[in-house]
A and B are shown apart, each in its own frame.
Chain A
Amino acid sequence: MTAQFASMIARRPALTMGMALALAIAVVALLPGLFAPQPPNAIDVGRALLPPSAEHWFGTDHVGRDVYARVVHGARVTLGIVAGSLALSALFGGVAGTIAGYLRGWSDLFSGQLVEVILSFPPIFLGVMITGIIGSNVANLMLALSIVYLPLFFRAARSAAMVESARPYVEAAQVLGAGEGRILFRHLLPNVLPAVLTQYIILFPLALQIQAALGFLGLGVQPPTPDWGASLQESKDYVLYASWTAIFPGLALVVSSLAVILIGRGLQSRT
């Protein structure tokens, strides 16, 4: 068992490292109270902007909140939003793309043009536009992020569905008299799934950056919720003399992106 494990690490170091990091982060995001029992929003103005110490591992912020507690509790907020909105995006984009790729014709042309229009906005502008106009709260942020990445899931699913539609098993199902719905959902969708999942892993770090950037611009999660991007926005006026308020939420973003990027690279190089 251990020998197998060691050989897997040796063969696919990036994947193993990424998985280990992602697992650790997931545990923190699911059980933040276990790692930081102190409340993330407890204000103590008398103890504002204290440097890291044994009592406050990551120091305190401008109103005396514990930065460590905020980073730990922020994992669930930030990563939850990204994971959730990408899942929505994958669901709708994946199903629409599969249908468009299988049926072709007008529905395909129409949705293709719609996708083209969404893609013509650079992602961050689209995010800024949606959250800035309809208002910044968690639901709108998730809506914005899922719209931003919908076209890419649509495209991935569409091209996978086109490839799959040409396979004999689809023809066999057609000959056996299976309905369009049955072919789409029972036969095609499971085979399109890997392409959608790959896209999910590729897009996760990008979506995380956009989520954080919107928080940083004040258009994402609103304070006092301990979101990493929002924490960085609050820290920017203090960074010169209380750098720890900016260093740790940012490192959390870097490590999380890194974990997923490593998994993606590990999966790509199947050697």
Chain B
Amino acid sequence: MTRFIVFRCLAAILTVWLASMVVFAMVRAAPGDIIEMMMGQMGSSEGEAALRRFFGLDQPVYVQYLDWLGRVVTGDFGSSWRQGSPVTELVFNAFTVSFELALLVLIVSSLIGVPLGLLAGYRAGSAVDTIIQAFNVLFLATPVFWLALMLLFGVSTFFYWSPPTIYVSPLRSLTDNLIILAMPMASLAFLQIAAYAQFVRQHVVEALQQDYVRALKARGVPARTILGKHVLRNILVPLITFMGLIFIQILGGVVVIESLFGLPGLGRLLVNALYARDFPVVQGALVMVLISAIAINLLVDILYRAIDPRLRS
């Protein structure tokens, strides 16, 4: 188990390293840079050269990369070219906002989606199953940002309420924070509830045909115990893998709707930095996303070995 964890961690670090190279190369290959934007029409060539020296852009790309990598390893992503503030701090603050929202969505959608899937799978072919499946297909087809727009419109029209547009940190006031996050959370949750329900239903239908379920039924064990205790435990491994995927997908969804709700998260930071050609921030934000996605996959891999002893050997 320890050997496995060490091996997987090394593999994860290798992937992050390779991917960071891809990020760096792409960002540097981009047409148009911030120097041109800063100098505008009035720029002199001496001024431009001085700025390039200041930002270290006069060095060859591989020197820039090694220099950047050397500092990233120590947790220093450099400073934003536009604001001058440290990238590590900007990215970290933005990440906590996105992460909190993603975590809320994950919790809410697991709590609703898994029971729906259990119910639909257990009553496969019934009217309840048909309704749940119709719900799944409908919300799997609905873009989250459009659902967010519709919620904004619907709630403001029928309840005369819109979410506040100034973000409040949960450390300052948890209630205010949750009020702000309620609507973005709802817009993201429907898709994930549908995804969960569909996934769990499929696995329950398969599990119900297996001998252990038939044996339990024959012994007169109530349906709730069979589902909640035995079937759920047996599908836990695929479910956890799925949760990891869902979480990464939610992080992506969060990014798309952040600007709409005025949340100062990672997506807004990334998109704004891209528009401004503020490359240290772009690199920092992307590496942060990579690290979290790879960390989630790693966690999933370790977790299901911990759960299922059969996978350990």
Contacts and interface: CB of A to CB of B under 8 A. Distances in A.
A133 B27 contact: yes
Given A124-B256, A129-B23, A254-B141, 20 more contacts: A120-B15, A124-B252, A124-B253, A125-B289, A133-B274, A133-B282, A205-B140, A209-B143, A212-B146, A218-B271, A232-B145, A240-B152, A240-B156, A246-B146, A250-B146, A253-B141, A254-B142, A257-B141, A258-B138, A261-B141
B19 A121 contact: yes
B127 to A, nearest CB: 15
A236 B141 CA distance: 20
Given A120-B294, A121-B293, A232-B145, A261 B137 contact: yes
B149 A120 contact: no
Nearest to B26: A133
Interface string B19-35: 10011001101110000
Interface of B: 15-16, 18-19, 22-23, 26-27, 29-31, 137-138, 140-146, 149-150, 152-153, 156-157, 162, 248-249, 251-253, 255-256, 259-260, 267, 270-271, 274-275, 282, 286, 289-290, 293-294, 297
A258 B141 CA distance: 5
Contacts of B145: 212-213, 216, 232
Contacts of B142: 250, 253-254, 257
Nearest to B27: A133
Contact of A120 (B30, B141, B152, B290): B290
A209 B289 CA distance: 20
B153 A246 contact: yes
A247 to B, nearest CB: 7
A132 B271 contact: yes
Contact of A128 (B137, B248, B274): B274
A209 B255 CA distance: 14
A219 interface: yes
Nearest to B162: A240
A261 B143 contact: no
Interface of A: 113, 116-117, 120-125, 128-130, 132-135, 205, 209, 212-213, 216-219, 232, 235-236, 239-240, 243, 246-247, 250, 253-255, 257-258, 261-262, 265
Contact of A247 (B30, B150, B270, B293): B150
B40 to A, nearest CB: 19
A258 B260 CA distance: 25
B15 A217 contact: no
Contacts of B271: 128, 132, 217-219
Given A121-B289, A205-B141, A213-B143, A128 B26 contact: no
10 contacts: A116-B15, A120-B16, A125-B252, A128-B270, A212-B145, A212-B146, A240-B152, A253-B143, A254-B141, A257-B140
Contacts of A253: 141-143, 146
Contacts of A213: 143-145, 256
Contacts of A219: 271, 274
A26 B73 CA distance: 51
Contact of B26 (A129, A254, A261): A129
A225 B305 CA distance: 50
User: Nearest 8 pairs between A and B by C-beta?
Assistant: A132-B274, A257-B141, A250-B146, A124-B252, A258-B141, A133-B30, A122-B252, A213-B256
Question: Which of B141, B249, B274, B294 gathers the greatest number of chain A CB atoms within 10 Å?
Answer: B141
Contacts of B256: 124, 213, 216-217
B293 A120 contact: yes
Nearest to B245: A122
A122 B153 contact: no
B293 A122 contact: yes
Given A217-B271, A261-B137, A236 B143 contact: no
A131 to B, nearest CB: 9
B26 A124 contact: no
Contact of A239 (B22, B153, B293): B153
A253 B146 CA distance: 9
A246 B293 CA distance: 32
Contacts of B275: 132
Nearest to B152: A239
Contacts of B19: 117, 120-121
A128 B294 CA distance: 18
A106 B248 CA distance: 30
Contacts of B27: 133
A250 B141 contact: no
Nearest to B250: A122
A209 B252 CA distance: 12
Contacts of A125: 252, 255, 270, 286, 289
Contact of B149 (A122, A209, A246, A262): A246
Contacts of B141: 205, 253-255, 257-258, 261
Contacts of A217: 256, 259, 271
Contact of B255 (A124, A246, A262): A124
Contacts of B152: 239-240
B140 to A, nearest CB: 6
B150 to A, nearest CB: 7
A198 to B, nearest CB: 16
Question: Which of A209, A250, A253 gathers the greatest number of chain B CB atoms within 10 Å?
Answer: A209
B140 A235 contact: no
Contacts of B137: 258, 261-262, 265
